[in-house]
Chains A and B, each alone.
Chain A
Amino acid sequence: MEILAGSISAGLLIGMVFALVALGLTIVFGVMDIVNFAHGEFLMIGMYTALLTSQATGMDPLLTLPVAGVVGYLLGIVCYTGFVKYLLRGPMVAQLLGTFGLMLVLRNLALLFFGSEDRTIHKGILVNRSIELFMGVRVPVTKLAAAALSVIAFVLIWLLINRTRIGKALLATALNAQGARYMGISTERMNTFAWGIGGATVTIAGALLANFWSFTPYVGLLFTMIAFTIVALGGFGSIPGAFVAGILVGFITEIPGFWDYLTYLSGQRWMAKVPMSSFKYTGVYLAYFMIMLIRPRGLFGWKT
């Protein structure tokens, strides 16, 4: 039972962080129908921002979150106003290749400045501690805090979009950009803002992940794929969808844990020999293909 409860809680916690990883992607897609292949690279930059800021200032990694958020916000705005804005005038293929190119540029800049060795954050008030949740299930405090802060960030963004004037304007732009312009809303400013909050949320997610995830400048692609799966599953442009799908994808990455539990229950020797943990993310990619085949609209989608 402990193995099962452990897998469930691990899936739930990482799923909440995954949801925050995908939030920015779904907002940017919702507002301007562009898929950002460099999304995972933003997250990678968030990880390095947390690491380098805490190294340089001696600050606890947890306190670097606002720094990561500001870096991500500015990075999003710079990418939009300096590059993506021009891509939007071109055909779809230009947009795809354009953000793909942005991904390569950011990754290689990171390799140039940070090198390719594996990095981890070793210190901090959260690192290397764990607490017992229930039934003997212990979870690392880093993951618990990351999940809790992700949920808070999610709620704040939801409130921003649904309860504030600028949020309503963002929503209007997402629903009908031309209609929004006729209301006097500057859709250009809304696009910039969407990239800003998209960048800020994913770099904050990166800074949270950095506390328990070792990383190199190559880490982005995995998270881009995870974010794509979540956004496709939850429905392109849907914020509640991203949250639910994030948790589902969290469970998918815990399939090896569930497999171990089944092995233990059945007592089948051959099951123990299957290297399930090597296929941890294969399940995520498989889920992506299944969604595209069966329900491309996603669970909560209003755009296709």
Chain B
Amino acid sequence: MPENMPQPAPILELENIRVRYGGLPVINGLSLKVLEGELVCVVGTNGSGKSTILRAIMGTQHAFDGKILFNGKPIHHLNTEAIVAMGLVYVPEEKMLFRPLSVEENLRLGAFLLKDEKRIAENLDFVFGLFPRLKERRKQAASTLSGGEQQMVAVGRGLMSNPKILMLDELSLGLAPILVDELLDTVVRLKHEGLTILLVEQNVREALAICDRGYVLQTGKVVQEGSGKELIGSESVRKAFLGL
């Protein structure tokens, strides 16, 4: 636990990675790190390459240069399943739910790598405690849920395997402000429970308000980094994103 360690070790480190998409560079020599127990956010406008970072970490879009280290071990040559098995869990922007299956079946598939039925049941209870609305709708097909509820299923499914780091991609996309607040409150709660979280958001104000540290991305490069408070108070961030 963090309080026993004066200097928490970085759980995830990206060193100077470059990613191309269709021959075009999307990420140009980006470095970032996430320490154990931290809530880190990456903000930037549309097309700044935020989601690409997460896809590169997950091995869906391979970085052609640079290093990605998880607990000090390189993971950039592994395939997605192996990366998930190490405890890196990704909640994609597109949610990618198994739409005809019920809420509970979706959540149980999140625990696919766990074999202990008791632990799966505990995690299911934990997720239902976090999102009571999902418990009410546990037998309902995922496709029949509202956008906000589907996002809850996506996050809950990500939590089902006891991840070591949870990566959330555009949690707030397309949701009503009240739901965004609710989901971000849940993120903060998860952080307090000791979970390490990497959050990618275009909702800059809200993301910076809750994170420990943040990175500001522009055209595939980190242009600014610092604590959430520092960034929210910085002149350039206020000008570029907050319209102040």
**B113 located at the interface, meaning its Cβ lies under 8 Å from any Cβ of chain A in the complex:** yes
Contact B105 A182 (CB under 8 A): no
**B226 located at the interface, meaning its Cβ lies under 8 Å from any Cβ of chain A in the complex:** no
Within the complex, the shortest CB–CB distance from A210 to chain B, in Å, comes to: 37
A170–B109 alpha-carbon span in the complex (Å) = 11
Contact B58 A182 (CB under 8 A): yes
Nearest to A186 among chain B residues (CB) is B81
Interface size on A, residues (CB 8 A): 18
**A55 located at the interface, meaning its Cβ lies under 8 Å from any Cβ of chain B in the complex:** no
Q: What size tier do the contact residues of chain B reach?
A: 20 to 34
Contact A176 B97 (CB under 8 A): yes
Q: Would you mind naming 16 contact pairs between A and B with Cβ atoms under 8 Å apart?
A: A168-B109, A169-B112, A171-B101, A175-B98, A176-B96, A176-B97, A178-B60, A178-B96, A179-B96, A179-B97, A180-B109, A181-B79, A181-B84, A182-B58, A182-B84, A187-B81
**A56 located at the interface, meaning its Cβ lies under 8 Å from any Cβ of chain B in the complex:** no
Nearest to B114 among chain A residues (CB) is A184
A251–B85 alpha-carbon span in the complex (Å) = 49
Contact B60 A183 (CB under 8 A): no
Within the complex, the shortest CB–CB distance from A220 to chain B, in Å, comes to: 33
Contact B161 A175 (CB under 8 A): no
A172–B108 alpha-carbon span in the complex (Å) = 11
A185–B157 alpha-carbon span in the complex (Å) = 14
Within the complex, the shortest CB–CB distance from B239 to chain A, in Å, comes to: 36
**B49 located at the interface, meaning its Cβ lies under 8 Å from any Cβ of chain A in the complex:** no
Question: Which residues in B have their C-beta under 8 angstroms from that of A184?
Answer: 81, 84-85, 112-113, 161
Within the complex, the shortest CB–CB distance from A44 to chain B, in Å, comes to: 34
Supplied contacts A165-B112, A182-B58, 7 more A-B pairs, CB within 8 Å: A172-B112, A176-B96, A176-B97, A176-B99, A178-B60, A179-B98, A185-B81
**A213 located at the interface, meaning its Cβ lies under 8 Å from any Cβ of chain B in the complex:** no
Question: Which residues in A have their C-beta under 8 angstroms from that of B112?
Answer: 165, 168-169, 172, 183-185
A128–B56 alpha-carbon span in the complex (Å) = 64
Nearest to B110 among chain A residues (CB) is A183
Interface core residue of A168, A172, A175 (most chain B CB under 10 Å): A175
Enumerate A187-244 residues with CB–CB distance to B below 8 Å.
187
A172–B98 alpha-carbon span in the complex (Å) = 6
Question: Which residues in A have their C-beta under 8 angstroms from that of B84?
Answer: 181-184
- Which 10 A/B pairs are nearest by Cβ-Cβ distance? A179-B96, A184-B84, A181-B80, A184-B113, A175-B98, A183-B112, A186-B81, A176-B96, A172-B109, A183-B109
**A289 located at the interface, meaning its Cβ lies under 8 Å from any Cβ of chain B in the complex:** no
Question: Which residues in B have their C-beta under 8 angstroms from that of A183?
Answer: 84, 109-110, 112-113, 157, 161
**B92 located at the interface, meaning its Cβ lies under 8 Å from any Cβ of chain A in the complex:** yes
**A302 located at the interface, meaning its Cβ lies under 8 Å from any Cβ of chain B in the complex:** yes
Within the complex, the shortest CB–CB distance from B59 to chain A, in Å, comes to: 9
Nearest to A181 among chain B residues (CB) is B80
